[in-house]
Amino acid sequence: MRVTIEHLTDLITTKLHRAGLTEEHARIVADVLVHADARGYHSHGAMRVEYYAERISKGGTTHLPKFEFKKTGPCSAIFEGDNGAGHVVAKLAMDEAIKMAKENGIAVVGMRNLGHSGALSYFVQQAANADLVGLSVCQSDPMAVPYGGAEPYYGTNPIAFAAPGKDGEHIIIDMATTVQAWGKVLDARSKNRAIDDSWAVDANGAPTTDPFKVNALLPIAGPKGYGLMMMVDVLSGILLGVPFGNKVSSMYHDLTEGRKLGQLHIVIDPERFAGINAFKENIAQTMKDLNNLKPATGYDKVYYPGQRSGEREKKSIADGIEIVDHVYEYLTSDVIHNNNYDHKSPFAK
């Protein structure tokens, strides 16, 4: 089913508003989800709406959160999220980080007590759109085995980075520290597609291609991914005084309770270093250099990070977004949720 960006945004906004969010907050969440779908990150797009609607309707997301932005120094701050929708907290915190970085050259803003915030690319893109460099990291529930381990301890613990180039073109990296994000497994389940055997293991710790048999995810590049997972957990968990490691709340354990997650934005103003014009010129040159490299056998071109997602986004703006039929049917129905997620194992079917 192909729908326009505007129609999909309206459908998601309506569903989340009916679940209990204010219309303003529902539209921010919808904007982040549609951003993900438009760039091809369907694992973090409209397919997540029913989960959010169930958590919102059961009280696990605060409907009228009391946000508080507290400066702890000229370049540092804490954004208290009151277990509001994570997309809203992260978006508003990035707005504040951008102001702080413009004033002082750099901003480090920690968010605590927020819900799942979706695709981090949205927030670092905010920074790049303001001619700033953005980095964002956040926790997720323990679903990945550490290198050499047989049971989960860390989450997919994603990292996102963006740097502005010329003419609105940005380098954007958005990656899990596992081989794939859990949402990719959910996306494969929704489409009844096999997964690569390097993504995950089953209950016996053996690699699996069946998305319904996944019992834990694997870190990227073994010990290197494991180290990155730990780094993200320190910066977005221990540093902010929220639960960390395998103490991070499960996405599905109890949808009546807030998740108390942590996230961290770091924003840098290139004007204070190389100068914004020189910086953007050199980012643009980097993009051009990469595109002009000789591709390896089996590849048509060397792309810079975020380039293909950006091309998909432009196509989505022009032609609409393709979403699976059952997701569209849910969005257009009168059903708020089907009670599919509460108290379920994160690996449940």
CATH number at residue 111: 3.30.1370.60
Whole-angstrom distance, CA of residue 51 vs CA of residue 118: 12
Instruction: Confirm if 30 and 331 have CB atoms less than 8 A apart.
Output: no
Residue located via tokens 């995950």: 200
pLDDT tens digits in sequence order for the chain, 349 residues long: 899 999 999 999 999 999 999 999 999 999 999 999 999 999 899 999 999 999 999 999 999 999 999 999 999 999 999 999 999 999 999 999 999 999 999 999 999 999 999 999 999 999 999 999 999 999 999 999 898 887 899 999 999 999 999 999 999 999 999 998 777 888 898 889 999 999 998 888 888 999 999 988 999 999 999 999 999 999 999 999 999 999 999 998 899 999 999 999 999 999 999 999 999 999 999 999 999 999 999 999 999 999 999 999 999 999 999 999 999 999 999 999 999 998 887 665 5
Helix axes 86-104, 121-129, angle to 10 degrees: 30
Give me the catalytic one of 116, 170, 265, 337.
Answer: 116
CA-CA distances (angstroms) from residue 101 to 45, 121, 134, 269? 29, 19, 10, 6
Q: Domains in the chain: how many in total?
A: 1
| Neighbour-count burial for 136-149, b at 16+ CB within 10 Å, e otherwise | bbbbbbbbbbbeee
Residue with tokens 């975020």: 306
Residue with tokens 């100068």: 275
- Taking the C-alpha atoms of residue 243 and residue 285, their distance in angstroms, rounded to an integer, is 42
Q: What are the residue ranges of helices labelled H in the chain?
A: 5-19, 23-38, 49-57, 86-104, 121-129, 182-190, 223-236, 276-292, 307-319, 325-331
- Kindly state whether residue 22 falls inside one of the protein's structural domains: yes
349 within a domain of the structure (yes/no): no
Residues β-bridged to residue 162: 134, 172
**Is the residue at 347 inside a domain?**
no
* Domain range for 25: 2-275+309-331
**What whole-number distance in Å separates Cα of residue 320 and Cα of residue 74?**
43
Residue 12 lies in a domain: yes
In a domain, 338, yes or no: no
Q: Please give the Cα distance from 33 to 29 (Å, whole number).
A: 6
Distances (CA, A) of 25 to 13, 66, 146, 189: 9, 13, 36, 29
Contact 171, 244 (CB under 8 A): no
Question: Could you tell me if residue 293 is inside a domain?
Answer: no
Q: Is residue 143 part of a domain?
A: yes
Residue 263 domain-assigned (yes or no):
yes
302: exposed, middle or buried (Cβ count in 10 Å: 0-12, 13-18, 19+): middle
Q: What angle do CA 250, 252, 257 make, to 5 degrees?
A: 80
Write out the DSSP string of 244-273: -GGGSPPSSS-TTS---EEEEEEEE-GGGT
> 116 catalytic, yes or no?
yes
Q: What is the pTM of this model?
A: 0.94
Residue 50 and residue 336 in contact, taking contact as beta carbons nearer than 8 Å = no
